[in-house]
Each structure stands twice: as C-alpha cells, then as structure tokens.
Amino acid sequence: AKPYNHHEVEQRWQAVWDEEHAFRTSDDYSRPKYYALVEFPYPSGQGLHVGHPRPYTALDIVARKRRMQGYNVLYPMGWDAFGLPTENYAIKNHIHPKIVTKNNVERFKGQLHALGYSFDWEREINTTDPEYYKWTQWIFLKLFKAGLAYKTEMPINWCTSCKVGLANEEVVNGVCERCGAEVVRRVKSQWMLKITEYADKLLQGLDTVDYIERVKVSQKNWIGKSQGAEVDFTITGKEEKLRIYTTRPDTLFGATYMVVSPEHPLIEKYRDEIQNYDALAAYREQAAKKSDFERTELAKDKTGVQIDGLTATNPVNGREIPIWISDYVLMTYGTGAIMAVPAHDDRDWDFAKKFGLPIIEVVAGSPVSVQEAVYTDVETGTLVNSDFLDGLSVADAKKKIIAWLEEKGLGSSKTNFKLRDWVFSRQRYWGEPIPIVKCEKCGFVPLDESELPLMLPEVESYEPTDNGESPLASMTEWVNTTCPCCGGPGKRETDTMPQWAGSSWYFLRYTDPKNEKALASKEALEYWMPVDWYNGGMEHTTLHLLYSRFWHRFLYDQKEVPCAEPYQKRTSHGMILGSNGEKMSKSRGNVVNPDDIVREYGADTLRTYEMFIGAFDLSASWSEDGVKGCRRFLERVWKLQDMLVEGDEYSDDLETKMHQTIKKVSGDFENLKFNTAIASMMSLINEFYRKNAVTKGEYRTLLTLLNPVAPHVTEELWQTAGFDGRIYQTAWPSYVEEKTVENMVEIGVQVNGKIRVTISVPKDSEKDAVIAAAKEALGDKLTGNIVKEIYVPGRIVNIVAK
Ligand code: ANZ
Ligand code: ZN
C-alpha cells in the first residue's frame, strides 16, 4: 500500500462529509433519538487547547456509534461567547468585543473542523447573537413575572481588578476565580434570582437522573440541606429572645456560651447597655473585610470579643452563659447566632480553648477526655449530664428534645440550606442587557415581549466606571426611555446578565435553533429532551449544572419544557496535564497546541491518543511517546490492507475473538472506557499480524469499530477495500452472546496418569470423539493394551494401558 498520509486523508474526508451533509440531524421525529451534549466552549483568544478534544472526542464516539445503530443523533456545538476575558481584551486593544468574538469563533471552528467532529454545524448557536439572547431575556422576564427575580441592596463580593461583582461561587480561596485579584465586600444594588426557592426540587431531582457519583455529591453539598432545630435562649433579665440554629439540639445541656455574628442586630439594639460597644464595633469592621470563606475556614485561628453587659439563659436548665461575637458565625446562615457546645463541635472547641471557656461533656463515648480533644461522633455516643436525655443515643435524644422544645414553645425543628440566591447582575458591557425599566411611579417594569431582543447598544468605551457602574450607564440616550407601564419617563437597567445566563438554557435551543417564535418548538422539545448524555468538566458541576437545572425546572413548572430534569446522564472527564504532571499553563511553558499535533501526526492520532491516554474520568499527563504509539497503531491498521484475504466470514480461530471485541468495544464506548476499547482493538490487530492475514469480513468489522475513534483513516481504508457506500453510513456490527465465550476447550491427555499431550476439542464433544482425538494425538506414544479409557468432561482424558 501507499504510505499513510494523514493530511491528504483527513482533508479529503472532511470535504466529503461537508458536501454530503453527513452529520445533519434529521427532523424525522418518528425515529429513535439520541441527544449527546458537550459543554460549549468559551471562544477565548488562545484558541483550542488539548483539554478540549478529550470530552468532544468521547461524545463524538458515542454520537457516531449511535448513528450507526440507527438513531437520529443530535450532537451540536456552539459558543458561550459573552464574558469578561473578551471584554478585557477589547478594552486593551480598542476592538469591539463583537469583532473579537467573531475572530475567536472562526479560529475555534476551524480547529474543531480539523478534528473531524460530527457536529451538526447547521445548528450552531452563539449566546451573543441577538436572535439567541432574545430568548435569554425572555426567560428572565418570565422569572421576573413569577417573582423569582428581584433587586436588592446587598453586600457582594467585589473583584478589585475586574471591577465587577462576583457570585460566591466565583470566589475561590478568597480571590477572583478569573483573575486571582483580591475580593472585598461591597454593598451594591443587585439583581438576584431566587434559586433558593428551588432548593428542594433541585435536590430531589437528583434521585431521578443518572449522574456519576461525585457529580451528585457536589450538587448535594452545594445545595447543603441541613436538618436541625431553632431554639430560643433568653437574654437574661429581659423578654428578648436570642434564637439560634443547631443541627445538634441533643447537646443543649452542653452549651457553655453563645456566639452571635458581629453583624447581629442585638448589638445595635442594646448599644446603650453594652459596656464595650466600641470594641465590638471595631471587631465588626475587621470582620467585614473578610469573605465568608475565610471566616468559616476550619483551620483559622479563632478570634472574638465577649459582649459585656448581656448574658443568655439556657432554656433547658436555666443556666446563665456569656455571649460573644466572632466572625466564624455568619449573619447569612441560620439565625446568625449559635449556642456553643465546645465538647462536641470543632470550632467551638478551638474557641473555648483559646478563651478559657468551660467544656462540658454531654455525649459520652470518646476514648479521651473532651478537655483533650473534641468528640463529634454521632453514631455510637450516649447522652450524659443531660437530665431527661441521659442514656439515649444521639438520634433518640434529638427526637426527644425537639418534642420537648415544641411542647414548651421554646423551639422547633428546622431545615436550612447552604444555597444562596443567585447574584444575577454584572456591571459590565459584554453581556445580555436586562430588559427592565425603572420608573419613579411604577417601580421595576418589565419590557413587553415584543420589544425583545433588547439590543446591546454601541458605546464609546467598554471600560467599567470607577464607581462600579456598567459602561451602559453613561449612554444617556439609551438609558432614558419611557415606562412601558405608565408612559412616563423611565430609566433602563444598565447592569447586564452574568455569563452563566446564556449557558443555562442553550441545550434547549439546539433542538430548534432557528425558531423565531419560541425558544424552541414544543414538538422539538418533546422529541429531543431530555439530553441523553451530557459530559462536562468537574469545574462546572456546581454552578453551571445547578443554574441550568434551575432554569430548566422553572421552565418545566411554567409548562414550557416537557420534562423536569434537563440531563438524563451526566459524566465528567479528567484534565489533561503537562508531561510534568502539572496543569498546562503559559508560565510553566508546558502547553501543547493541538494544531501542532494535528499537523504532525493527524487528527485521528490526536483523537485516538486522547481516548487512550488513561481512564476517562481521571486526569492524565501528556506524553509525546504516547502520541507516537497511537500513530504507530494507526499505521498498523493502515498496513492491514496488504494482508487482506477473500472471505466475508470470520476465520474459525478468530471467531470468538471477533465477537468478544465487538461486545467489548460496544460496551466500553457507552461506559467511558474508551482506553480499554482501543486496547482490545489493538489486541485484535495483533492476531491478524500473527497470522499475516485478515479476511474481508474481519477487516470490515475492525474498521467499523474503529471508525468512531479514527473516522478519517477508516473511511479511507473502507473505500480502498471497495466496501459499499461510506463507513459512516454503515450499520454497527453485532455480536452473538454465545459466540463470545471460548468454544474450544483444552484437554490434557494422560497415559497411566501422566500427561503426554494436550488437545483442543469443541466444548460439548462426546466421549468417543474426545478419546479418538486423544489417541490420534498420542500416536506412537501409546503402547501396550488399553485396559481403560476415562474422560472427565472438559478436563482430562486418562488411558490406562498395560
Ligand atoms: C450546636 C452544635 C453542637 C452544633 C455540636 C454543631 C455540633 P450545618 O450542618 O452547616 O447546617 N451554626 C449555625 N448557624 C451558624 C452560622 N450562622 N454561622 C456559623 N455556624 C453556624 O451546621 C449547623 C451547625 O453550625 C449548627 O449546629 C451550629 O453549631 C453552627 F456538637 O449548634 B451547631
Ligand atoms: Zn411608570
């Protein structure tokens, strides 16, 4: 055969597929459907990196296989193109973000095309396209009308460098997730979405879907459902109650002090009676500079100030205990106040040790004294020092104390969530305008649907203003408008939506991307939703996944979509690291450019390599040798054309192996085990090489199995071999279960108890046939008179001779 020229092969077939609209999704809704989805990229200025092809190739394999199995497959691609990096680049280089986006998209698209993905490009979407963001705005209006969008003054996380408010989720270890700059608290008026109203639905929905375990766990933790009780302590000598939230009401007898958040209203209310107000106020000011994350970090050194002049009384035993303020108690969780039980809570224990506060054991079971170490176990301990709770388990004590509190009107059971409402405003230019007008008379008034899309106007400068307003605020002509409600003067909202908005519903748009009357037709949604398989990065398993599930669930409640959950199955891939095992980055100088790999080795090699690199859900280090190994594998496939022999059948000695390989590859492709699927094809090829022969039937099956991984080279070999049509239109090979099990058995043949030869016979052979075969194999090794012939089925033949 001629040498394997990947340039020629890949360019030829990409052109053919384009021309033949090979991967166009059909609108024939009578066929079985399969919707495979990967997270659409942010078209950054850097272009594609080698991390992108890992998930894209994985689901391309699934999509191609499902097509060959007769499904109508939707495997779409688009651009999540609003966002800060583009805007920052635009500011720096004085180019309109629209142009920056267009250029970046072109580059990305070219790169993806060169990798031979079977995306249906006719369904491409772009979140910055007004025809797209019209519907993002439309959904916002629906949320607003349902009372789920509101504007409020609130302290937000403010990135000092991006000059933008960040959601809690975007603050990582106290710094901005995007730029790494310091994040401070600032009070701002912000649009919020009431995702908290959906906390329970979002939690329960997880029971109905097939997500990998760690994704489910992170969704659950983020929602953070916590079950406990609220209990009213009293401020000693007053009517005033101090309400606390606890998950351990069983430990009430062990409360030795109280802690309120530094922002707790108690302090202002009793300002005149408190003797050290100034010290408290100074502490509060310090606390305001810290993020919630910093404040609640377990390892952090505990700080606090005791309130002089107020104490609390424990309702269960009338004991008078001091009240402290400390930043480890947040105003935004529970009631902003806690009872401290240092014997059984880590943070309280640290705090008590630091300030010399008493530690009283109320759950016995610790091997060491609670003065030495905190005891947090809730499974095995028994209540002590707790009056009517003594002797009970933690679980029973909880029940009993809650009943007691409820009966006395001192408290009640209570459920809390960690989840907070979603800060939905950004004071930036490059985002969807929020379609709201503020009127002095009518308040916040939604635009009429017919006014959508509300276009992003052209501005002079995209620079955010120093007082933290969006650049849109200086566009007085655009800002000043009339109130849609009373016709009086009104002002447009100048904040824009966060980047999370467009990606919260994009999977719906793919089902009917050009619809001008609806976000997608009912028929399209009915047919395509839910997404059958969604794969994305672990970094998106909290926010994007939760936000999009929230919007979808809301649209379901509004009867706009046919199912409650958007994604039936969610998996996640590991990262591709540099060859040194570290994250690829410019500063480390270990970045691999996929374009270089495609040029030197070919797209098929890159695809094969990224699937072969290791277990799909684990991170893996790049290795140039590994790339070369995959290239050699494809070369070996290429050279099989010289070993072709006639015959549509599988040869006898390979029949089992063929059926096994089909079974293995088919199963592995659906179970994220792309590496072992490829390994089994490599092993099959070794057999062909061993025999120096491959029948047309075997070759045909091999090429078909390999096609989803290496689509170009297999398409080429298919044609060269003279097989019918295109390989992408071929049916996926099938296997017969019985034929996957080895049909022949090895039998040891003994003469007088000593093994002389082994023979291979069909599994279910009769005794006579096996004995005959044994004698033949023994030949002149068998002498004397045969006295006895024994056959232990499937195991051994023993011939006794004298
Ligand atoms: C007494 C106690 C005893 C507690 C014990 C724990 C163990 P989750 O699971 O996170 O809901 N807490 C309550 N409100 C708080 C706030 N605003 N800021 C900081 N901490 C707060 O945990 C609830 C527990 O966290 C509550 O139960 C309370 O401490 C603390 F052996 O109350 B616990
Ligand atoms: Zn008005």
Helix (H) or strand (E) segment spanning residue 33: strand 33-38
Q: Is 245's C-beta closer than 6 angstroms to any atom of ligand 1?
A: yes
Q: Tell me if 23 sits within 8 A of 120, measured CB to CB.
A: yes
492 Cα–ligand 2 center, Å: 12
**Ligand 1 in contact with 246 (CB < 6 A)?**
yes
Q: Which residues contact 469 (CB under 8 A, 6 or more apart)?
A: 427, 494
Query: In this structure, which ligand is nearest to the CA of 482?
Result: 2
Ligand 1 in contact with 341 (CB < 6 A)? yes
Chosen CATH of 226-416 out of 2.102.10.10, 3.40.50.300, 2.60.40.10, 3.90.740.10: 3.90.740.10
3-state secondary structure 152-185: EEEEEEEECCCCEEECHHHEECCEECCCCCEEEE
Q: How far is it, in rounded angstroms, from Cα 361 to Cα 343?
A: 5
Q: Which of 144, 44, 51 shows the shortest CA–CA distance to 104?
A: 44
Which residue, by CA, sits nearest to atom 19 of ligand 1? 329
Which ligand is the nearest neighbour of the Cα of 439?
2
Cβ atoms of residues 384 and 390 within 8 Å: yes
Indicate whether residue 329 lines ligand 1 (CB < 6 A): yes
Q: Which residues, at least 6 apart from 473, have a Cβ–Cβ distance to it below 8 Å? A: 465, 479, 494
**pLDDT score of 319:** 96
Closest CA to 566 of 505, 625, 477: 505
Nearest ligand to the C-alpha of residue 436?
A: 2
pLDDT single digits (tens) 279-331 = 999 999 988 877 777 787 777 789 999 999 999 999 999 999 999 999 999 99
- CA-closest residue to ligand 1 atom 2: 248
Domains in the chain: boundaries? 138-220+421-492, 226-416, 617-739, 743-801
Ligand nearest to the CA of 327: 1
Q: How many residues does the chain have?
A: 802
pLDDT value at residue 762: 82
Any ligand 1 atom below 6 A from CB of 326: no
Closest CA to ligand 1's atom 25:
246
Q: Is 344 in the pocket of ligand 1 (CB under 6 A)?
A: yes
CATH of domain 617-739: 1.10.730.10
The chain-wide mean pLDDT, for the chain, equals 94
Which ligand ends up closest to the CA of 485? 2
Q: Which amino acid is at 548?
A: S
For the record, the structure tokens of 301 come out as 């050194």
Q: How far is the CA of 245 from the centre of ligand 1 (A)?
A: 7
Give the list of residues 6+ apart from residue 294 with CB closer than 8 angstroms, or none.
Answer: 174, 300
Q: For ligand 1, is residue 257 a contact (CB within 6 Å)? A: no
CA gap 264, 335 in Å, rounded:
9
> The complex's ipTM?
0.96
Q: Who contacts 199 (Cβ-Cβ below 8 Å, separation ≥6)?
A: 223, 225, 417, 419
Atom of ligand 1 nearest to the CA of 331: 17
251, 338, 374: residue to mutate for ligand 1 pocket, most atoms within 8 A of CB: 338
User: What DSSP character marks residue 784?
Assistant: S
pLDDT at 163: 79
What's the Cα-to-Cα distance from 518 to each of 80, 226, 456, 528, rounded to whole Å?
A: 20, 39, 21, 16
Residues of the chain with pLDDT under 50: none
Residue 549's nearest CA partner among 573, 525, 567 is: 567
**328 contacts: CB under 8 Å, gap ≥ 6:** 259, 295, 296, 300, 302, 304, 347, 351
Tally of CB atoms within 10 A around 169: 18
**251 in ligand 1 pocket by Cβ < 6 Å?**
yes
Is 383:391 a contact under the CB 8 Å cutoff? yes
Q: Is 743-801 a domain of CATH 3.60.21.10? A: no
| Closest ligand by atom to 484 CA | 2
Residue nearest to atom 1 of ligand 1 (CA): 246
Ligand 1 atom 32: residue of nearest CA? 246
Q: Are 505 and 552 in contact (CB under 8 A)?
A: yes
Quick: pLDDT tens for 3-41: 999 999 999 999 999 999 999 999 999 999 999 999 999
Surrounding residues of ion ligand 2, Cβ less than 5 A: 439, 441-442, 483, 485-486, 488
Structure token pair of residue 398: 């909880």
User: Using alpha carbons only, how large is the chain's radius of gyration in Å?
Assistant: 34
CA 55 to ligand 2 center in whole angstroms:
50
Task: Return the half-sphere exposure (C-beta side, CA atoms, 13 A cut-off) of residue 667.
Answer: 10
Whether the CB-CB separation of 105 and 79 falls below 8 Å is answered with yes
Q: How far is the CA of 440 from the centre of ligand 2 (A)?
A: 6
Quick check: 81 and 130 in contact, CB under 8 A?
no
Handedness of CA 280, 286, 288, 292 (dihedral sign): negative
Query: What class does CATH assign to 138-220+421-492?
Result: alpha beta
Helix H, strand E, coil C: the string for 43-112 is CCCCCCCCCCHHHHHHHHHHHHHHHHCCCEEECCCEECCCCHHHHHHHHHHCCCHHHHHHHHHHHHHHHH
Q: 161 Cβ partners below 8 Å, 6+ apart?
A: 176, 179, 181, 182
Quick check: helix, strand or coil at residue 399? Answer: helix
CA distance 346 to 320: 23
Dist. CA 244 → ligand 1 center (Å): 9
The annotation places the binding site at: 586
Mutate which of 333, 339, 389 to test ligand 1's pocket (most atoms within 8 Å of Cβ)? 333
Alpha helix (H) residue ranges in 307-365: 346-355
**Residue 97 carries which side chain, given as an amino acid letter?**
P
Give the contacts of 3 (CB within 8 A, at least 6 positions apart).
Answer: none
Q: CA-CA distance, 371 to 352, in Å (whole number)?
A: 10
* Residue 71 contacts residue 36 (beta carbons within 8 Å): no
Residue nearest to atom 33 of ligand 1 (CA): 246
How, if at all, do strands 796-801 and 744-751 pair? parallel
Torsion of CA 464, 469, 474, 479, to 10 degrees: 130
C-alpha dist (Å) from residue 339 to 279, 312, 438: 22, 10, 44
**Ligand 1 center–CA 282 separation, angstroms:** 25
Q: 590 alpha carbon to ligand 1 midpoint, in Å?
A: 45
Which pLDDT does position 742 carry in this prediction? 79
Secondary structure of 509-546 as H, E, C letters: HCCCCCCCCCCCCHHHHHHHCCECEEEEEHHHCCHHHH
Contact between residue 726 and residue 718 where contact means Cβ atoms under 8 Å apart: yes
Residue 656 Cβ contacting ligand 1 at under 6 Å: no
Annotated binding site for ATP: 586
CB 250 within 8 A of CB 387: no
Predicted confidence at residue 294, as pLDDT, reads 77
In angstroms, what CA-CA distances link 404 with 42, 184, 234, 318, 677? 56, 44, 17, 15, 61
Measured in Å, residue 9 CA sits from the centre of ligand 2 at 65
Range list of H helices, 256-379 = 266-269, 277-288, 292-296, 346-355
**Residue 652 CA to chain centroid, in angstroms?**
46
Report CA(478)–ligand 2 centroid distance (Å).
17
